[in-house]
Structure 1
Amino acid sequence: MSPTPSNADKKQSGVARILGSASAGICEIGVFHPVDTISKRLMSNSTKVTSLSQFNKVIFREHAADPLGRRLLTLFPGLGYAACYKILQRVYKYGGQPFANEFLTTNYRSSFEETFGKKTGKALMSATAGSLIGIGEIVLLPLDVLKIKRQTNPESFKGRGFFKILADEGLGLYRGWGWTAARNAPGSFALFGGNAFAKEYVLGLKDYSDATWGQNFIASIFGASASLIVSAPLDVIKTRIQNRNFDNPESGFTILKNMAKNEGITAFFKGLTPKLLTTGPKLVFSFALAQTLIPMFDKVL
């Protein structure tokens, strides 16, 4: 059953989706890469931080005693990997979710609406489409692994370049793919679902693509907050799997067991507060920007 104009959002072209989401990714990298580095280093830290001095050492490591300007420059490791990963990720995620959503709308809209009601069904289709896209995001995992290692464990590169690492490590760069998929499925469901529910029930939008920048910003806050909270425990495990030395891998279940035994249940939410304060705005910024730019590019094209 095809969607009707009364209950379907306007479609944007594929080019507009690529340009809008890529632009959002570029802007996000330019503003938030140092913040992402801080978040990853906090999540990778397995010791208790009880003083500003310890916090300084966790963030800046061997450069903790350097002048402020030099310390700040150390927050830009892996920028090349980060740029490639983030732009591809945003194009895939923000640009791909509308295609998945249209597929569900075209083929399963009646099932969702009969089960959950018209408004809730529409929001849940958006959430489900996001979850499916999130699982497929594991194809970009090697770039994410290299970015995180550059940020948290640069010694693991041992002077090797990108292509040398690819040749040496091969499929090892997909280590942690199961945990990544397990993190992405509920995380992306909550991101797009929270965003859709806010547009549907808080903002009362009939066509989500008609949202203004302000409305996209508000809806993105709901989606980003829900996503970060839901995915936090698996994100910590994923990060610890990926920041290990290439020659010293550790399984996710081993990390989970050791964290529960040595650090307690709160360890699974390490970095959540700074992540909500740092990654949260980053995700809100890029998500709101992509949702605003895609319709804008579509009109221009």
Structure 2
Amino acid sequence: MSPPTLNSDKKQSGYARILGSGAAGICEIAVFHPVDTISKRLMSNQTKVTNASILNKVIFREHFHEPFGKRIFTLFPGLGYAACYKVLQRVYKYGGQPFANEFLTRNFSHTYQDLFGQKNGKALMSATAGSMIGIGEVVLLPLDVLKIKRQTNPEAFKGRGFLKIIKDEGLGLYRGWGWTMARNAPGSFALFGGNAFAKEYIFGLQDYTSATWTQNFICSIFGASSSLIVSAPLDVIKTRIQNKNFENPESGFQILKNMAKNEGISSFFKGLTPKLLTTGPKLVFSFALAQTLIPAFDRLLK
């Protein structure tokens, strides 16, 4: 039997990739939007949380005194922006990474194999493809900005609708684009790389697309955890840039300087624990679901 090659993964159609990743994004937003709101508010908080009362105020803002049943519904701000952003993001990221991986396979597979060997080369190529896609994700930044502002700083809207904000702010909605790219490149590299290394070394898969739901789920845990840890400091800076009022922007370097001076180095990992416990499962869920649904849709469409 001839040895496996770096391009041994089965290729799915573009339609299957769009449908599978889009369905994963819809399921993710339906289940995890309140969790995402809590995570963003914790990352944006600049005060010390020393007791449950303060934590309650950080999470629920001015609604902290209301009955718990009512407070829960205050965790759904920006749902429209979030749904639009998340579905487009997942389609682009999960559906686009295989195309980038195929491009690298066609043009650089021998280079990766010569430099890193068979197994490492294939996994690193998948990681590199993820990093390329992660950098390009910056085109969706305005929707992410609006989602985060709705979750953490709704006063920034001042009664303006989506089209009015687009007209008024223009390219200002791309504020923080450099920090976003700086976060996405290593974050996506770690996400797809951790996932690929787990498939390669834990399950010994030659065709990554043949993984079962359980295998995809376990491998996604490795990828998601790696991604969140690697990107945490830049993610905090990005979130703080984006949650400022439109008329009072603050540069990423100024935020970095103030955080280091006033809050200490540990501030760059604010929200990491709840993020691993909340955003982690969300990312694992959608990533594993997309990897399972894409081959399933491909079989249905044939």
Measured against the shorter chain, the TM-score band is over 0.9
How far apart, CA to CA, are the structure 1 residues paired with 2:42 and 2:244?
15
TM-score w.r.t. length of structure 1 = 0.98
Q: Which residue number corresponds to residue 252 of structure 1?
A: 252
Partner of 1:56: 56
Distance 1:53 1:261 in 2: 27
CA separation in 2, counterparts of 1:266 and 1:204? 38
Alignment-derived partner of residue 98 in structure 1: 98
Question: How do 1:1-301 and structure 2 match up within 5 A?
Answer: 7-301=7-301
Report if the CA contact (8 A) 2:21-2:290 is conserved: yes
How far is the alpha carbon of 1:6 from its aligned partner? 7.6
Q: Give how far 1:41 is off.
A: 0.0
Tell me, yes or no, if the aligned pair for 2:64 and 2:71 is still in contact at 8 Å.
Answer: yes
Q: Aligned AA for 1:147? A: K
Give 1:209 deviation, angstroms. 0.3
What are the ranges of 5 or more consecutive residues in structure 1 without an aligned counterpart? none
Identity among equivalent pairs (%): 82
2:256 partner amino acid: L
Runs of 4+ in 1 over 2 A off after TM superposition: 4-7
| One-letter code aligned to 1:122 | K
1 CA distance for matches of 2:7 and 2:214?
23
Greater shift in the superposed pair: 58-67 or 6-15 = 6-15
In the alignment, the residues of structure 1 paired with residue 80 and residue 238 of structure 2 have an alpha-carbon distance, to the nearest angstrom, of: 21
**TM-score (norm: length of structure 2):** 0.98
Count of residue correspondences = 299
**In structure 1, the residue corresponding to 2:77 is in which secondary structure?**
coil
- The SS at the match of 1:74 is helix
Paired amino acid for 1:123: A
The aligned amino acid for 1:107 is N
Q: Tell me the C-alpha RMSD between the 2 structures.
A: 1.1
CA distance in 1, matches of 2:203, 2:192: 15
Counterparts of 2:160 and 2:257 in 1: how far apart (Å)?
32
Ranges in structure 2 where 5+ consecutive residues have no aligned partner:
none
Aligned equivalents of 1:227 and 1:29: distance in 2? 19
How far did 1:5 drift?
6.6
Which letter does structure 2 place at the counterpart of 1:207?
D
Distance 1:113 1:144 in 2: 37
